[in-house]
Structures are given as structure tokens and as C-alpha cells.
Amino acid sequence: MSKELLLEANHIYKSFSGIPVLHDVHFDVRRGEVHALMGENGAGKSTLIKIITGIYTKDAGQISWEGKPVEINSYQDCLNLGISCIYQELSVIPPLTVAQNVYLRKEPLRAGLIDYNKMNSMTQQLIDLYDFPLKPTTLVEDLGMGQRQLVEILKGLSNDSKLLIMDEPTSSLSGKEAESLFGIICKLRDQGVSIIYISHRLEEVYRLSDRLTILRDGKNAAVLEKDEIIPKMVIETMIGKEMEEVDDSSKELRSDEGPVCLEVKSLTDSANRFRNISFQVRHGEILGIGGLIGAGRTEIVRAIYGVDKAASGEVLLDDERLDPNPALSISKGIGFVPEDRRKQGFIPLLSTVKNVALTNYDIIKRTGMAIDENDELELSKKAIEAIDIRPADPQKEVGTMSGGNQQKVVLGKWLVRGLKLLIVDEPTAGIDVGAKAEIYSILDQLASDGVAVIVVSSDLQELLRVSHRIIVMRKGGIVREFKDETVTQAKILAAMQGVEEGEKR
């Protein structure tokens, strides 16, 4: 690996609405190295990458490429330099072939028409060069997730990219697919391609990276060479505290003695995203579920609610066995706030009235076959008053509201009906501090009223703040339960990473 710097970002500053997100950050990448970037949620990783790729403009600082100062003001500027980003959400178009995806919007032409033979030949040359298990004429919709990701990598390499940025590349991959990707990354490095590898998974970072930069609170916390990457030290650097330390980032958990509301027995997914999952949640209890991206957290709660079908196992509500589906869950008193509220939790162009009504038409009065609009309106007013939705205008389009109030609308549609169990996936993602406190208060009140609550969260502080008990998932299984003990953020993170306290490598 060369010591020559390909990319260097110095003294980078960035603020949003006066709030600093990056403060005097330094980051550089050598030719032919895998440089990992880690940090807790909110550490500044995504902002730094968006500055490097021209999506955000920096407030101050200097970026150099191959030793020369450059300004990257758009993603096209980034591509022109030879930088490509492979995002967690793949951008391939399934009905098109591999070659059509690779050369989309840069197709070779002949007499003004796309030269498909040449495009297939160019794609095959790339496939041969990097030894990818792909064919140019295969439809992407016929490929698995791992191969689709390779198509994304080929798209980057077709731009003669010298630097690839990979954002959580294994989050949707099986173990076999991930192994294949690791082999590809090593081949690319051997051929002189540099890679920025963004991941929450420490074992991947240890295995692949030549260097590791850790950000904390928008600042450089450490830059480690390969032989300096020690699990316990990495976790402590990310958190900023000793793993055994007990302070305001710790909490004394307590077990609830109420009757069991939900029991999950040996729930297993046909795609092996989760397996043999068993746990209970009691009335009046908030159960937190932690884990890294791809651990199976979201998949298990979607299966419990019935959005996705489990292959085997049982779900019992108050000792009654269920065959979960959304309509049944609603009728039985189970509410679900999904991870992506904008795509799955509400309809942006509809008003608060109509959004609150979405899950409640079974309890809204009817006049013949028609919905009683007055009752529909009163139900929305009840939600607005219950959790202080602002503006308090039932006819306001929800898509024009702040993130916090959008989330209140999603919660509000469940609070106007009798709930036994509420499942909330990433309750405060993208929400300001004030709105977070209000949503935490709502969850606390629900538990006080005897409702069982499941909270899935990537935010360790949030898990500690709201949970009475915490289970941690890793690679599709439950690996740790915290109850009746003092738990710290570092202990949760260590369980998520599969690192035992005191482990050195």
C-alpha cells in the first residue's frame, strides 16, 4: 500500500442552523488502502461523506485530490475526479440488464443510437478485469442483493474511479454474499483502488481496514493504523468513556411484574434475517431492542405485526395465539410505528384528519355506507389534544409539518383507540431535541397506563432513556438481555459488536 495521499480533507467545518456538526475534522485516504470510518449515530460520518461527494458544501476547510486543492460542489464534480459512492440504498434499476445499469446515461452511441454490442463488450471487459461473477446481459431483477451490490461497484469502476465510498455495504447481505464482497474489496485494493468503508460492524473493520478514523461529536477522536485497532479501545473511543464507567450514560434497569402481554416463541424468517427469536413483553413495560444495521431488529417487529410473514414460530397476545397480519393486529389492539415514517407511516398529501383516520375506520361512525365526517374530525381533534400536534389544525397537510409533528401524527392515530401493545421502530430519527422529549414522555405515559411498548432504536442514549429492559440482536439472533442491573452505553455497544468487556482483540 502506497503512503501517497489520494484524498485529503483538512480543517473541515459544517453547521446546520447554527448547530456545529463538523468541527476542524481531518480525514485522508492513501492510494490503494481501505480506510474505515466509524462513529456513533450523529458523530458526523454522513455529513463528512456528503461534503466529499459534493452533496453538502463545507463552511470552511480545504479538500485536496492527488495533492491539488479542489472544490467539489456537486456529485458530478465528485465523479469527474474519480470518486464514486455506493450507498446503503442501492440505485440499480431491476428491469434493466447489468450493462444497461452500469452505463446508464453514458451509453456508447452509434449513428445516434445506443450501441448495445459495444456496451455489453465494455461491461464484460470490466467484469473480466475485476473477476466479478456477473454477465452483462443478465437482468438485475434476477440477481440477489450481493450481486446487485457488485453492479453498483461496477458502475463506479466504469467511471475510472480511483476512490470508492461504501456505506454499510453488508447491511442487506447474507453471510455468503458478504464474504464474496470482502474478496472483491481485497482485489480492488490490490489493483490500487482506494476504499472508504463506513460500517458499524467492528469485525468487518478489523478484517478489511488498513486504517480507521473515528469521529465523535463532529470531531476527530482517533486515527488508528491496522495494528492499533483493538475492539475495546475502539468502543471506548467511540463512546468517549471507559466501558466499565458508570455515569449519566448508564441506567439501573428494572423488571416489570405485570402480566405478559406479548410472547414470541422461536420466530424464524424464511430468508434467515432472524431465527429462533423468543422473548416476552409485559403490560406496562417498555422493552428496548438494540443491534447494528442488519441485525434483524426491524424484520422481527414487522413479522410480529404481520407486515412480513415469518416461516415458523408463534406470536401470542394475552395468551391468544395469533397468525399476524396488519388488519388482525389493529383489531387486537397492536399499533405499529414503522422505521420510515414518511414512506410507511403517513400519507404526506393528506391532512391530519385523514391520516389519523387511516387505521381507525373500524371505530369511526358511519351514515349508511358513508363515513361520518364529524366523527372523523372529532377523532383527529382527540389525537391533536392528546399529544399536542402542531399546528393544531386538523386540515393541515402532514407532509408540510416538522419531523417531530409528523411522528406525533403517526403516534396519534394509535392513541385514539384502545391499545394493548405499541411497536415503535426508530421513534425519534430525524427529530429535534424538544420533540424527542415529548415523544419519550408519550411512551412513558403509555407504559404507565398499562400498555406494553417495544422500542427499536439505533440511538444508545435513547435505548437507555426509555427502556425498562433491553435485548440486543446480532446477526439475526438475540445475544444479550439487560435487566435488573446497571447498564451503560458501552456495554450495549459491546454486545452489539460481539465484544466482551476486557477483550483485547
Give tens-digit pLDDT for 183-192: 889 999 999 9
What global pTM score does this model have? 0.68
pLDDT band at 320 (very low <50, low <70, confident <90, very high): very high
* Close Cβ partners of 296 (under 8 Å, ≥ 6 residues apart): 269, 273, 274, 277, 473, 475, 476, 477
Q: Could you tell me which residue, 158 or 340, shows the higher pLDDT?
A: 158
Q: Is the pLDDT of residue 356 over 70?
A: yes
Strand partners, 268: 312
Residue 114 banded pLDDT, cuts 50, 70, 90? very high
CATH class of 5-239: alpha beta
Q: Sketch the domain layout of the chain as residue ranges.
A: 5-239, 243-333+419-500, 348-417
Residue 481: what residue type? E
CATH level 3 topology of 243-333+419-500? Rossmann fold (3.40.50)
Query: Is 70 exceeded by the pLDDT of residue 366?
Result: yes
pLDDT of residue 501: 47
Phi, psi of 188 (to 5 degrees): -60, -45
Local confidence band at 502 (pLDDT 50, 70, 90 cut-offs): very low
- Categorize the per-residue pLDDT at 413 as very low, low, confident or very high, splitting at 50, 70 and 90: very high
Q: How far is CA 331 from the centre of its chain?
A: 30
How high is the pLDDT of residue 503? Answer: 43
| Burial degree of 7 (CB within 10 A; 0-12, 13-18, 19+) | buried
Residue 202 has pLDDT above 70, yes or no: yes
Output Rg (C-alpha) for the chain, integer angstroms.
25
Task: Give exposure, 159-190, as e/b (b: 16+ Cβ within 10 Å).
Answer: bebbbbbbbbbbbbbeeebbebbeebbeebbe
User: What is the grid cell recorded at 449?
Assistant: 397506563
Q: Report the alpha-carbon distance of residue 269 to residue 273 in Å, rounded.
A: 6
The answer to whether 5-239 and 243-333+419-500 have equal CATH topology is: yes
Q: What percent of the chain has pLDDT over 70?
A: 94
Average pLDDT, the chain: 90
Q: What pLDDT is stored for residue 231 in this prediction? A: 80
Contact 416, 360 (CB under 8 A): yes
CB 158 within 8 A of CB 130: no
Picking from 156, 168, 155, 173, the residue whose alpha carbon sits closest to that of residue 88 is 168
β-strands 5-16, 19-30 pairing? antiparallel
Instruction: Name the band, by pLDDT with cuts 50, 70 and 90, for residue 12.
Output: very high
- Which residue, among 105, 85, 93, has the nearest Cα to 143 in the 3D structure? 93
pLDDT in tens, 68-109: 999 999 989 999 999 999 877 678 999 999 999 999 999 999
Assign 233 a pLDDT band (cuts: 50, 70, 90).
confident
The β-bridge relationship of strands 5-16 and 60-65 is: antiparallel
CA 213, CA 210: separation in Å to the nearest integer?
Answer: 10
Q: What is the pLDDT of residue 241?
A: 65
pLDDT for 430: 66
pLDDT at 1: 62
Distances (CA, A) of 335 to 48, 262, 278: 37, 13, 20
Cα 462 vs. chain centroid, distance in angstroms?
Answer: 15
DSSP string, 360-396: TTTTS-EETTEE-HHHHHHHHHHHHHHHT-SS--TTS
pLDDT at 429: 75
Q: Quick check: 256 and 284 in contact, CB under 8 A?
A: yes
Identify the band that residue 246 occupies on the pLDDT scale cut at 50, 70 and 90.
Answer: very low
Other Cβ atoms within 10 Å of 502 Cβ, number: 9
pLDDT band at 495 (very low <50, low <70, confident <90, very high): very high
| pLDDT over 90 (residue 289) | yes
pLDDT score of 256: 74
Average pLDDT of the residues in 378-404: 90
Quote the pLDDT of residue 249: 66
pLDDT of residue 437: 82
On the question of pLDDT at 485 being above 50, the answer is yes
